[in-house]
Amino acid sequence: MLCLWRTTAIAEQVYLAPKDFLAQVFAGAVPDPKVVWVTKNLRADTNAIMTHSKGPRRIRYWTRDTRSAWILEEIGKVKPITTGIVIDNGFIERITVLVYRESRGWEVRHSFFTDQFIGAQLVENHQLSRSIDGISGATLSVSALTRLSRLALYLHETINPG
């Protein structure tokens, strides 16, 4: 039993607590959270972006002026990856892996990978405006973060139409 607990404890790495991420993004003055309800109208697009229909019905976000912050989760291979994404004026400003639970692919947390997303925006068919280089051995984690970034950009558009 102790060996099983130790394996689980090692697999989950908290790199930055979600509350600390929000404090950094909003310079300590975190706005109250808001909620996007993923209604029937949004569901088709979110399912297409995420390539599955197992997403949440409501998603919390924080916003001030033209910026929004999203804390989203997606399964890498078998466990969720918690990611913080900041969007400003329709462009990715920051993407940070907050909690990583998989046994492989943790390299996606490093800036050499996440910096590729900075400045990306959505183009037709909810794709990113730039390609993201993969990491050998982390294909599923790379895919999960790419889908989450597309989702955050799409949701930002839904709360800031125009």
Q: What is the DSSP string of 112-162?
A: HHHGGGTT--EEGGGEESS-----TT-HHHHHHHHHHHHHHHHHHHHHS--
pLDDT confidence band for 160 (50 / 70 / 90) = confident
Counting Cα atoms < 13 Å in the Cβ hemisphere of 91 gives: 8
Pick from 102, 98, 65: nearest CA to 84: 98
Low-confidence winner among 47-51, 52-56, 127-131, 137-141 (lowest mean pLDDT): 52-56
- Average the pLDDT over 108-136 and give the result: 95
- As beta bridge partners, residue 84 has 71, 96
Q: Is the pLDDT of residue 8 over 70?
A: no
- Average the pLDDT over 53-77 and give the result: 92
| pLDDT for 27 | 95
| pLDDT for 128 | 96
Residue that the structure tokens 């979110």 belong to: 46
Percent of the chain exceeding pLDDT 90 equals: 80
Q: Is the pLDDT of residue 60 over 80?
A: yes
Q: Is the pLDDT of residue 10 over 70?
A: no
Q: Is the pLDDT of residue 37 over 70?
A: yes
